Amino acid sequence: EVQLVESGGGLVQPGGSLRLSCAASGFTFSDYWMNWVRQAPGKRLEWVANVNEDGSVKKYVDSVRGRFTISRDNAENSLYLEMNSLRVEDTAVYYCAKAKTAGTFDYWGQGTLATVSS
Amino acid sequence: QSALTQPASVSGSPGQSITISCTGTSSDVGAYNFVSWYQQHPGKAPKLIIYDVSNRPSGVPDRFSGSKSGNTASLTVSGLQAEDEADYFCVSYTGRTNLDVIFGGGTKLTVL
């Protein structure tokens, strides 16, 4: 059974940092692109970043490029999102999602809430 | 465009069929056959129900079907059941490095 379990969310002040983690199991992690997707309160889902199978290709939405870093550890079956210079508008539930085909996410985690507030 | 357009809500009675539209542009929905649909019950993770416009993952009932015409994709749910009541959202690949996919705003399906 495929499982994706996020952790690392919490309350942080503007300008602060958080590191989100996603522990994957039930599939060959190193064979798939992985994504972070977020949903701010009352807003639609928004793709944040993804990384290819070996971690050599990373893509970001413009609003987080230069502040967020996606990475993966295939030996540990884990995906990460390092979030720096956080803004109030980064407040959201962050989901880890496994890619199936281009633009398709076949498995999602339950999400972890990151709240940026003073 | 950075978002797909869906109706906020649709409803139907058990046994009936409903269709949810998802409108994009010639740069996303119209350009690629990479449109997917997801079902999300409150407090739960999204579940993939249609991918690549019209393909169903294993385990998804054939009551769910997808199609596309031009810049608009559609999800049809036939033989509505009570458990189909949920939020449904569409996703399209864009091919853009700085915006890999875009999402619809979601449609609340109510089974009357």
Q: What are phi and psi of A14, to 5 degrees?
A: -55, 135
Start-to-end Cα distance in chain B: 34
Q: Do B103 and A44 touch (CB under 8 A)?
A: yes
User: Does residue B49 contact residue B56 with C-beta atoms inside 8 Å?
Assistant: yes
What percent of chain A clears pLDDT 90, i.e. is strictly above it? 94
Residue of B48, B50, B52, B88 best to disrupt the A interface, most CBs of A under 10 A: B48
pLDDT of residue A88: 97
* Model pLDDT, residue B42: 87
Count Cβ–Cβ pairs < 8 Å, chain A vs chain B: 69
CB atoms < 10 A from the CB of B25, how many?
15
Q: How far is CA A34 from CA A74, A102, A104, B27, B49, in A?
A: 11, 11, 11, 23, 19
Distance between CA atoms of B110 and B112, rounded to whole angstroms? Answer: 6
pLDDT in tens, B22-36: 999 999 999 999 999
Task: Out of A11-20, B2-11, B16-25, pick the least confident.
Answer: B2-11
The pLDDT assigned to A16 comes to: 97
Longest dimension (CA), chain B: 43
Q: Calculate how close chain A gets to B94, using CA atoms only, in Å.
A: 8
Question: Mean pLDDT, to the nearest integer, of A48-65?
Answer: 95
**Residues in B touching A50 (Cβ below 8 Å):** 100
- Report d(CA A55, CA A42) in Å as an integer: 32
- Among the partner residues B34, B97, B98, nearest to A103 by beta-carbon distance: B34
pLDDT at A31 over 80: yes
For B44, the closest chain A residue by CA position comes to A110
Query: A108 and chain B: CB distance < 8 Å anywhere?
Result: yes
pLDDT at B24: 96
CB A47 within 8 A of CB B102: yes
Assign A4 a pLDDT band (cuts: 50, 70, 90): very high
Q: What is the mean pLDDT of residues A6-34?
A: 97
The CA-based angle A89-A91-A96, given to 5 degrees, is 120
Please, what sign has the CA dihedral across residues B20, B77, B34, A31? positive
pLDDT of A68-87, one tens digit each?
Answer: 999 999 999 999 999 999 99
**Residue B35, token pair as written in the block:** 């449109």
| A31, A24 Cβ separation under 8 angstroms | no
Average pLDDT score over residue span B50-56: 96
Q: What is chain A's mean pLDDT, rounded?
A: 96
Nearest to A70 by CA among A85, A57, A86, A87: A57
What's the whole-number average pLDDT of chain B? 94
B34 touches chain A (CB under 8 A): yes
CA dihedral A41, B37, B52, B3 (to 10 degrees): -40
Percent over 70 (pLDDT), chain A: 100
Interface contact A2, partner B, CB < 8 A:
no
Calpha distance B91→B33 (Å, rounded): 11
Residues whose CB is less than 8 angstroms from the CB of residue A28 and which lie 6 or more positions away in sequence, other chains included: none
Query: If you average pLDDT over residues A40-45, what whole number do you get?
Result: 90
Taking the CA of residue A48 and the nearest CA in chain B, the distance in Å comes to 8
Q: Does B73 touch chain A (CB under 8 A)?
A: no
Q: Which residues in chain A have their CB less than 8 angstroms from residue B94's CB?
A: 103
pLDDT in tens, B63-111: 999 999 999 999 999 999 999 999 999 999 998 878 889 999 999 999 9
pLDDT at residue B99, rounded to an integer: 83
What pLDDT, on a 0 to 100 scale, did the predictor assign at position B1? Answer: 60
Residue A51, SS3?
strand
**Per-residue pLDDT, B96:** 85
* Chain A residues within an 8 Å CB radius of B104: 44
